[in-house]
Amino acid sequence: MATIVEKSFSEKLQHIYNNLHLLTDWQRGFLESIEKQYKHKNKLSVNQLSVLKNIEDRVSPESIVKHDEWVASYDAEKRQDAQICAEYYKETGYFTTLAARILIDPEFIPSEKSYRKICENKYAKKVLESSRSEPKFATGSFVLFRTTAPFTHQHQAGERPCVVLSTDGKIQSSAKGSKPYKVLPLGKTTIIKCEERHLKKFRKLKKK
């Protein structure tokens, strides 16, 4: 077991507690645990000291400056991208805790590392690309479902043309052409939610 000077330990804790916003929930819980242990036993294990050192590095002056620069750079575009990706990951089962925090707390700013994890992986890039792309079919235009569209969509529409009601919404897939649409088959009252890749332009039959 390793023993540390109490004053040094107290100073370390004070500095860390002054910068708790830089730590994860797990790291905060760890600090509470070792503080109680140290008050009782007046020492920490080698492994505990190692973790404490990692936490100290996270709240070093250099890390604080870097964090402040990241917060300053977290503009409306990054916030919107994070929300789009959070909506996608909320349904996939990945990054669920981070996604929920982004969606629930409008003031929350994820760490740069967390932001890159959820917004800059290959799947997130496809989601953002679909979100930013201009719709191929304008609102009010007429479309048909492709033969590759889900059977339920084809069954609901039959062979009827559909009118495009909207071209926005929550992206559910990282596939190319996943921009969400709401369409209404002519003569029907039930709106169909689908993706751009499932649609094609309706071309009127030429009169003979």
pLDDT tens per residue across span 44-57: 888 888 888 888 88
CA 183/CA 138 separation, integer angstroms: 11
Q: What's residue 2's pLDDT?
A: 44
pLDDT digits over 159-206, tens only? 899 999 999 888 989 999 999 999 999 999 999 999 999 999 998 755
Cα–Cα distances in Å, from 171 out to 133, 176, 185? 12, 11, 22
User: Domains of the chain: which residue ranges?
Assistant: 6-70, 75-132, 142-201
- pLDDT for the residue numbered 149: 95
pTM for the predicted model, two decimal places = 0.72
CB 178 within 8 A of CB 126: yes
pLDDT of residue 37: 86
Q: What is the DSSP letter of 183?
A: E
Report the alpha-carbon distance of residue 48 to residue 2 in Å, rounded.
9
Report d(CA 137, CA 150) in Å as an integer. Answer: 19
Q: Is 187 left (phi over 0), alpha (psi -120 to 50) or beta?
A: left
- Name the stretches of the chain with pLDDT < 50: 1-7, 208
Looking at residue 206, its pLDDT comes to 53
